[in-house]
Amino acid sequence: MRYYLIVGEASGDLHASHLMHSLKEIDANAQFRFFGGDMMTAVGGTRVRHYKELAYMGFIPVLLHLPTILRNMKMCKQDIVAWQPDCVVLVDYPGFNLKIAEYVKSHTNIPVFYYISPKIWAWKEYRIKNIKRDVDELYSILPFEVDFFEKKHNYPIHYVGNPTADEVREFCGRGGAVVRGDDRIIALLAGSRKQEIKDNLPPMLEAVKGYENNYQIVVAGAPGIAPEYYQEFMKGSQAEIVFGKTYDLLSKAHAALVTSGTATLETCLFGVPQVVCYKTPLPQIAGFVRRHMLKVKYVSLVNLVAGREVVKELVAESFSVANIRTELAKILSGDAREEMLEGYLEVSRALGDEKAPDNAARMMYNLLNN
C-alpha cells in the first residue's frame, strides 16, 4: 500500500514515525511519501517537505509566512494527486490538514484517515462539520474524545490507545538511566517553546528556592532550545539542567512543577505528584477567555482524562510564586500527595494498555484491504 502522511510539528513527526513502523510490520509492501521530519525520514520513504517549513504558530507568524504556507499547501495537494496513494494519513495540525482533507475529498476518491484527532473539544468546535464531511476515519488517543465525537456529534471514531502511555511503559520496561540523587529531586518542566520557558521558568525557580538545601532542583531542557537560553533565567539558582533526559528525570523525581501539555500526562504516568503552572499575558483577560470561551473545564490532560481535578492547575489569575510554593508544599508529603497518586491510577486505567500505533495501523490496513 502507498501511504501519504502529513505532519506539521515535532510531536507529529514522533507519532507518525511510530505509526510508520507499525504499518511496515503489518504491510510488507508499505511505501511512504510525506510532509514530515527527521524521525519519519529515518523510517524510510520520500520526504517532500520538512515540517519546519509548515510550523508557524500564532496569528502574526502565520500572517508573515502566509505566502509560504499557501505555496506548500498547493504543492501538497498537487503531489497527492500525482502520487495517487492508497490513503492520506493526517496527523494532528488541523489548520493545515483539514484544508488538505477538504481538497482530497472533493477532488479524488482517496480515503482520508486522521491519526490523533484535532482537539476541537477545547477550541473551534465548528470544525466538526469539516471532519464529518472530509475525514473517513478518525483515530483518537484520548479516551474522553469518544463521548465528545460519538454522543455529542454522532460521529463514530476509534480510540486506539495513548502513545505517551506506550512510550512511558517502554521506557520503564527498558530501565532508564539514573539522574544523580537519591529521589530527593524536584523536576521543573517549563514548556517546549521559548516564550513558555521565559514566562514559566523564573517563577518556578523562585518558588523552589527555599528547597534548594534539601532537594536537588533539576530543569528538563526542551529539544531544540539552546542551553544558553536557559542560563539567563537560572542565574543565582542552584538548579541543574539536563537535556534529552526527561524520562530519566521523571523516573527519579519526588515532585514536579509542570507547564501544561503532554508533559503533565508523562509526569502522571511516572507517578510524580505535580503542580501545573502556566503563566499567561494579561491574566485577568486570559482567565475570562478560559471561563467563557474555552469549551473545557481543565487545561491539563491529567484532569481532562480523569474528568475531575486530580492535579492543581495554576493558570491565569491563580498563577503566582506564592501559590506555586503553597501547592508544592502540599504534594511533597501527606494526604494531598497520596490522593494525587490515587487519582493517577484512575488516569492510567482510563488510558488502557493498548499500543496506539499498532492498533491504528491494523485498522487502516484492514480497511484498505476490505
Per-residue pLDDT of the chain (370 residues; tens, 9 = 90+): 999 999 988 889 999 999 999 999 999 999 999 999 999 999 999 999 998 876 555 545 555 556 667 788 899 999 999 999 999 999 999 989 999 999 999 999 999 999 999 999 988 899 999 999 999 999 999 999 999 999 999 999 999 999 999 999 999 986 554 444 457 999 999 998 898 999 999 999 999 999 999 999 999 999 879 999 999 999 989 999 999 999 999 999 999 999 978 999 999 999 999 999 999 875 545 444 444 445 578 999 999 999 999 999 999 889 999 999 999 999 999 999 999 999 999 999 999 999 999 999 999 999 999 8
Residue 280 burial (CB count, 10 A): 16
Q: Cα–Cα distance between 259 and 264 in angstroms, integer?
A: 7
Indicate the fold that domain 168-348 takes in CATH. Answer: Rossmann fold (3.40.50)
The residues that bridge with 90 in the sheet, in sequence order, are 6, 114
What pLDDT sits at residue 264? 97
Q: Domain 2-161+354-369: give its CATH architecture.
A: 3-Layer(aba) Sandwich (3.40)
What pLDDT sits at residue 179? 47
What pLDDT sits at residue 62? 53
Q: Can you read off the three cell numbers belonging to residue 293?
A: 470561551
Q: How far apart are the first and last CA of the chain?
A: 13
What pLDDT sits at residue 178? 43
The answer to whether 18 and 163 are in contact (CB under 8 A) is yes
Q: Can you read off the three cell numbers belonging to residue 93?
A: 495540525
Domain ranges, ordered by start, for the chain: 2-161+354-369, 168-348
Give the sheet arrangement for strand 216-221, strand by strand. Answer: 240-243, 216-221, 185-189, 255-258, 274-278, 312-315
- Residues 57, 99, 94, 356, Cα dihedral to 10°: -140
Q: Which residues contact 28 (CB under 8 A, 6 or more apart)?
A: none
What pLDDT sits at residue 47? 97
Q: Do the domains at 2-161+354-369 and 168-348 have one common CATH topology?
A: yes
What pLDDT sits at residue 290? 47
Closest CA to 225 of 260, 252, 255, 198: 198
Burial of 146 (0-12, 13-18, 19+ CB in 10 A): middle
Closest CA to 12 of 172, 100, 141: 141
Measured CA to CA in angstroms, residue 351 lies from 165, 181, 343, 357 at distances of: 7, 31, 13, 14
What pLDDT sits at residue 175? 56
Residues of 241-269 as b/e, b for ≥16 C-beta within 10 angstroms?
beeebbbbbbbbbbbbbbbbbebbbbbbb
